[in-house]
Every structure is written in C-alpha cells, then in structure tokens.
Structure 1
Amino acid sequence: MSGVCAGVGKSSWPELLGAKGEAAAAIISANNPTLRVQIIEEGMVVTQEFRCNRVRVWVNKFGIVTLVPRLG
C-alpha cells in the first residue's frame, strides 16, 4: 500500500497483535497523530472503502487486538 499512501509513514503495526486495543490505538496515534484510529470489535459491520488516514484496530470481546492494524 505504500504506493497508494505515499508519505503517510508506517502502514502496519504487526507488533501490536495480541496487545490491548486501547494501548495499541494510543501507540498508533503517538506514532502518527494525523491518523484516525478506530477500535472495532470483531463482528461489527464497517464500510469497505480504503482510506489512507484511517487505521482500524480489530479487537475481540476482551479488548485484545486480533488482526494486524494497518492503513485502510
């Protein structure tokens, strides 16, 4: 995705897999304050459009990150 979102910086955070969702969102926001970080619980319906300024942090019912957060 680096070509699509050139200049945004980091595009994924694999090191946050298994972390607490709130902590992961805070780390991503600190890394790049221009991003809109959303915590989404598994099973929730979301829009499918790709956005270079958005990161979705997918968490389970315990608030643990279950998918690698990435731009989109």
Structure 2
Amino acid sequence: MSSECKGKNSWPELLGAKGDVAAAKIEKQNPYVSAQIVLEGTFVTLEFSCSRVRVWVNTSGIVTRAPAIG
C-alpha cells in the first residue's frame, strides 16, 4: 500500500460478503477507487494502482480475500 493513495485503503470487514455488495460499499467509502470483481483463479496484471480495488470472489460470488487498494 502506498501513502500516496487517497481515502480508505482496505476493507477486511467485507471478507465473506457478496461481491457486488462489497464493490458498491468500497466505491461509496472511497470515491477515488474503482472496485473490480474478479473470480478466484483469474490471471491479472501485477502493477500497483491507487485507483483500483480487486474484489476476489468464488464461484458463488462471495468475497474470498480482504479487498485492498492495489
């Protein structure tokens, strides 16, 4: 995590929540980020971005990792 990023930067309380609900809450709590729902096992780029929060979900749409800026 970078100190350059604005607003809230992690959401451990969303672990186990529905992915779409989590994404909406993240974007409401930090207007500087875009939440992206990503299915576990999907390949993603590794570069860090202050404007992105990946919301990792299982096949049932449940958040499997604590969402954080990155």
**Matched position secondary structure for 1:39:** strand
RMSD, aligned α-carbons: 1.0
Q: TM-score, normalised by structure 2?
A: 0.93
Question: What residue in structure 2 maps to residue 19 of structure 1?
Answer: 17
Partner secondary structure for residue 49 of structure 2: coil
Deviation at 1:2, TM superposition (A): 4.4
CA contact (8 A) 1:38 1:56 kept: yes
Q: Which amino acid in 1 is paired with 2:36? A: Q
Given that 2:27 and 2:35 are in contact with CA atoms closer than 8 Å, whether structure 1 keeps it comes out as yes
Which residue is 1:32 aligned to? 30
Q: Which residue of 2 aligns with 1:3?
A: 3
User: Which blocks of at least 5 consecutive residues in structure 2 are unaligned?
Assistant: none
Query: Across the two proteins, how many residue pairs are aligned to each other?
Result: 70
- Contact kept in structure 1, 2:7 and 2:32, CA below 8 Å: no
Q: What stretches of structure 1 of length at least 5 have no aligned partner?
A: none
Q: Describe the SS at the equivalent of 2:8.
A: coil
